[in-house]
Amino acid sequence: MIPKLLKQESGFEQIKTKKMKTSILLLLAFLSLNIVAQSQCVSCTNPTAVEGASVIGPNNSAEGAGSIAIGTDVYTTSAGTNTIAIGGMVKSDGQYTFVLGTGGQPLDGKRLVNSYPETLMIGFNSTKPTLFVSTSETNFGFTKTGRIAIGNVVNQNGQMDPQAKLHLRADDGEAAAVFIQSHSWINGDTASLVLGNTEHGISANTAAGLVFRTKKYYLFNSGLIGINTTRPTYDLDVKGSIFAEHFTLFNEQSPPREGSILQCDKGGNAYWNDPTGLYLWQLNENNEDIYYTTGNVSIGTDQAFPDYKLAVNGKIISEEVTVKDFNNWPDFVFGDNYQLESLKSIENYINKNNHLPGVPTALEVKKEGINLGEMNAVLLQKIEELTLYTIEQQEMLEKQFEMIESQQKQIDELSRIVNN
């Protein structure tokens, strides 16, 4: 809901305001018509008035036909026909002009001068106008309206020239400001500026701060926007954090494709890049998988491990791990030239070192860890050696069985002979 800009006046206040305005207008009209009709001077000292012109007050001069000079040291020139000049040290110098106010001191001769036909100029204690109402655009229906200037709104030629329905210009050293003040800011009253219609505008109150309203778009055709900074260097320069539920980074000249990655330069400028052309990451032919060709990766640590392609400080879970391209797989154990150590020598080694030959010690594993490929190869070598020992023992057992069987036959034969 759009807040009201002004509180509605009570009926009594409206009546008082209307009566006051009507009284002032009737008084000015009565004085002007009375003076014009009689072409006289009222309470004058050193007056000058041409025929058909009138003055009220001392040291006034009405040289324009049909002009009226009211006040002190008021002047209407011969060009100021049918004009009204009211106040002190003011001058009317154009047809149908109206000037109201006070200029400088009589001794310095500085006046507030209106020389623009069919216009109103108001100013006090200055040779420059505080308010200026221009003439309306010429049209046969006389339905157009003029423009209002607040301040000395002049063009490059020094002529009053408001460029909008309301044109404000500050004085030298003064801020050009418009203050729309609510009745009670502390109590939450709203101050608003409505643009176009009631659905578009700006409002402010103590609860919400500054609120922009529109049914369409917020458009900025040029310039830079700064938040928490007085000197933005980018189209949107935010000194602080940004939170968004959705963020889109898209360049029509170089649109990203599926699988693109976000990069930035050393200045922090982010952009989408095709990983195929990067030094580190590349896409395979199906454009689904990214692979890494150069350098090493560390996860869970900022340490670099130059001897390892992947270093993980933490646990890894996987359904399957495959170690490939292992060049020293222990099939050599079953070769004809492999010298299998005796179990006695292995026993002696274990008694001396407390671990199998070729297997890392507990201290080495604690310090260096284990290589899965190498450790599996060592374990396989020990299994293969154990298999060979088992085969040897089996052969010895079979020979012993044959020998025992032969000896048992001999014993049985001797027993039969003795018993017969």
pLDDT along the chain (420 residues), means of 10: 39 47 51 48 68 90 93 92 95 96 81 95 96 89 92 96 96 94 92 92 93 90 91 92 90 80 84 67 64 79 85 90 76 87 91 92 89 86 91 91 92 87
Does some domain include residue 197? no
Last residue of a domain, one of 168, 189, 216: 168
- Supply φ then ψ for residue 202, to 5 degrees: -130, 135
Does some domain include residue 239? no
Non-local (6+) Cβ contacts of 306 within 8 A are 296
Does some domain include residue 195? no
Last residue of a domain, one of 135, 168, 201: 168
What does the pLDDT read at residue 287?
61
Decide: 112 and 90 in contact? Cβ < 8 Å: yes
Non-local (6+) Cβ contacts of 359 within 8 A are 378, 382
What does the pLDDT read at residue 253?
83
Q: What does the alpha-carbon distance between residue 250 and residue 283 come to, in Å, rounded to a whole number? A: 21
Q: What does the alpha-carbon distance between residue 2 and residue 186 come to, in Å, rounded to a whole number? A: 19
Total of domains in the chain: 2
**Among candidates 274, 305, 304, 277, which has minimal Cα distance to 293?**
277
Q: What is the DSSP string of 369-417?
A: ---HHHHHHHHHHHHHHHHHHHHHHHHHHHHHHHHHHHHHHHHHHHHHH
Does some domain include residue 115? yes
Rounding to the nearest 10 degrees, give the CA dihedral for residues 225, 227, 229, 230.
50
What does the pLDDT read at residue 93?
94
* Percent of the chain topping pLDDT 70: 84
End-to-end CA distance of the chain: 133
Pairing of strands 112-114, 98-102: unpaired
Does some domain include residue 161? yes
Q: What does the alpha-carbon distance between residue 311 and residue 305 come to, in Å, rounded to a whole number? A: 7
Encoded tokens for 117: 């036909």
What does the pLDDT read at residue 22?
53
What does the pLDDT read at residue 47?
72
What does the pLDDT read at residue 105?
76
Does some domain include residue 362? yes
What does the pLDDT read at residue 324?
76
User: Dihedral sign, CA of 138, 100, 111, 155?
Assistant: negative
Does some domain include residue 334? yes
Last residue of a domain, one of 152, 168, 184: 168
What does the pLDDT read at residue 16?
44
Encoded tokens for 274: 């095709």
- The answer to whether the predicted template modeling score (pTM) of the entire model surpasses 0.85 is no
Domain range spanning residue 57? Answer: 39-168
Does some domain include residue 198? no
